[in-house]
Structure 1
């Protein structure tokens, strides 16, 4: 269990202030790699066969290769690390000039998120500039819906739009198990990303992600983004059998989508139950938690050493429930005190977060103090440093750079 004692040290003679990280150049990434579905293996170390173009998952922990795993994977699994690894949610996006420039050339979000070379290039943009310890695939939680028979569009101003929302059993007649040829750009991008960074001095983890069934269902039922969730919450009462049927279909396909990402190169998966925090705990127990457990159980049977992270904004009332899903890491939003959260969670659960994203608009001293406080309260080990939500539009890039550089220099643990 974590307390509030400082468990890390600043190297002597090093200053807290004036740290500005690297600024990278924007360039396109290279070629395409094939991949294949694999059978049930047990861990996360991946080797590439150039002859066959296939990625094969082999056991790492059993062969004593834990130290070869990226720092983020080791921290998530509870292995020893020298400092907390760091990445940011919404790490690639509009706060970066490189992304804005690319978006001007390719204005459609779906074009950017469903074209392999663009996915790779955008995912690497923050790595070129800031060298985070994790690279999260540039994609969207709704991306697999088309491959499940749920067509959607994304309006650049209104967000996701689903023309035929699910309100009754008959509305699911065209839903089917996910078809991976319709999301092959995801698999190809993950494979390329693994190859792009494999020779780095400090190899970052390649992170995949999925939406939790409840969060996906909010869009499928409401037909669009919402702040009230009135339609779906009422459907839980009026037609619970419809909701459970929809959630099970989503859970089955998302579990397979996790497998696909891991087999393509992802070394960790984050499950975003972004709107799970909008549910009262009793409703979460019925309509969200069981379906997350289904996904986690499925993935862990095949890949027990691939860490799974669960994040839900507004999760303060759900922490104990979230840890019971079987995930390795709980992502905390910024409204929770890190020390309080550690006391509520079991000692075998890792935590991620949870610096307030607004802090990145502050002074470098303010950012440094927020990192100090977060690391001290998280304790030594089992901590992935992150924001409590995504990087906000307009965040100064030099402050993002300071966040990562400060952690690299001053986030060292005592040995």
Structure 2
């Protein structure tokens, strides 16, 4: 599946985000927020209530478009990101995904045996996952040529943690037991997920995504050798496949708690790395040596502080990265549910006011 020419050649009114990903000059640091369309916004809560449930919302392209556009309308951000969930791929594999309010995701049929793993197929992006592609197409139409659209997927390792554990976890005992006790079985699972994520992201690009991001939420729970084998290497294979088929589309990798791995992540050939708040951006910039752009990295809990404190924290992040190209301002992870929306607005306004000094 090749990316559509429009995805790689689209002329956008605001391409600040894409230029920063390419480490080209910009007038100010672009800004968007992980989970920018979400429960902290009253308009999102109204849309979700209208849908009836979280997955009902995810499967409704028009409502996905509606909630994707809500933070754009409210804040005037520099990029939109597809509203969806990282677990759409394992759901399409037939594991029986459900969401319970306050408890998070749960799979009815988690992977427990080699037979469970070996019977998995690669979902068809325009079949079982067509609702996601329809959402991308609908959002692209709503955005027109105004802003870039970010597509995304969970990383193979992160998807595997949910598929093996059956839900979220604190210890990751079951998936780590597989990693240490039967690593070849985990490799087979990850190989299927590499294919699935690659096809899923290429389909999002063909449907209108201008950049894609791989969320490796749980890579940081692995020790270094296991991280390289089970998290980094699968992501590197995805990057290589995306670059072979859609060379003009920027790819962002993000491993939460992955600061020690940034140099190796940059070696994958990706265009940018997300950095969480546990790593100083100046240190991150030194480690990657200008090979990739950096995205981040305000601690999301800063947004519970007063606006003047938020402004100071924004200033510290900008100062940490310093002058020059290749920085996208973002949170170090997703925005918290109870964040006051006006505090997110204070952060965005501070980025707009303070960042031009770093681009003269």
Normalised by the size of structure 1, how large is the TM-score? 0.82
**2:85 maps to 1:85:** no
Q: Deviations over 1:121-178 (max 9, x none)?
A: 1111111111111111111000122333433222223222112222322112431122
After superposing on structure 2, the runs of 4+ consecutive aligned residues of structure 1 that deviate more than 6 Å are: none
- Which of 89, 103, 112 is the equivalent residue of 2:57? 112
**2:170 maps to 1:227:** yes
**2:120 maps to 1:157:** no
* Cα pair 1:334 1:353 within 8 Å, conserved: yes
**RMSD over equivalenced CA pairs, Å:** 1.8
The structure-2 alpha-carbon separation of the partners of 1:414 and 1:137, relative to structure 1 and needing over 3 Å to count, comes to closer
1:249 alignment counterpart: 192
Structure number with the bigger relative contact order (C-alpha 8 A, sep ≥ 6) is 1
The structural deviation recorded for 1:371 is 1.4
**2:334 maps to 1:396:** no
* Cα pair 2:99 2:105 within 8 Å, conserved: yes
Structure with bigger gyration radius: 1
**2:113 maps to 1:142:** no
2:2 alignment counterpart: 39
Larger fraction in helix = 2
2:242 alignment counterpart: 299
* Cα pair 2:25 2:359 within 8 Å, conserved: no
1:213 alignment counterpart: 156
- Which of 70, 84, 87 is the equivalent residue of 1:125? 70
2:212 alignment counterpart: 269
Across the two proteins, how many residue pairs are aligned to each other? Answer: 357
Counterpart CA distance in 2 for 1:315 and 1:401 is 28
- Which of 189, 198, 219 is the equivalent residue of 2:135? 189
The structural deviation recorded for 1:58 is 4.9
* Cα pair 1:77 1:305 within 8 Å, conserved: no
**2:312 maps to 1:349:** no
* Greater alpha carbon shift after TM alignment, 279-288 vs 314-323: 314-323
1:4 alignment counterpart: none
Counterpart CA distance in 1 for 2:99 and 2:329 is 31
The structure-2 alpha-carbon separation of the partners of 1:71 and 1:147, relative to structure 1 and needing over 3 Å to count, comes to same
The alignment partner of 1:317 has SS state of helix
The structural deviation recorded for 1:254 is 0.5
Counterpart CA distance in 2 for 1:366 and 1:196 is 35
Counterpart CA distance in 2 for 1:169 and 1:292 is 23
Counterpart CA distance in 2 for 1:107 and 1:39 is 36
2:46 alignment counterpart: 101
* Cα pair 2:272 2:292 within 8 Å, conserved: yes
Counterpart CA distance in 1 for 2:236 and 2:359 is 36
* Cα pair 2:82 2:149 within 8 Å, conserved: yes
The alignment partner of 2:66 has SS state of helix
Counterpart CA distance in 2 for 1:336 and 1:58 is 32
* Cα pair 1:71 1:81 within 8 Å, conserved: yes
The structure-2 alpha-carbon separation of the partners of 1:68 and 1:397, relative to structure 1 and needing over 3 Å to count, comes to closer
Unaligned runs of 5+ in 2: none
Counterpart CA distance in 2 for 1:374 and 1:253 is 35
1:50 alignment counterpart: none
* Cα pair 2:2 2:202 within 8 Å, conserved: no
Unaligned runs of 5+ in 1: 1-37, 47-56
* Cα pair 1:87 1:134 within 8 Å, conserved: yes
The alignment partner of 1:90 has SS state of coil
The alignment partner of 2:260 has SS state of coil
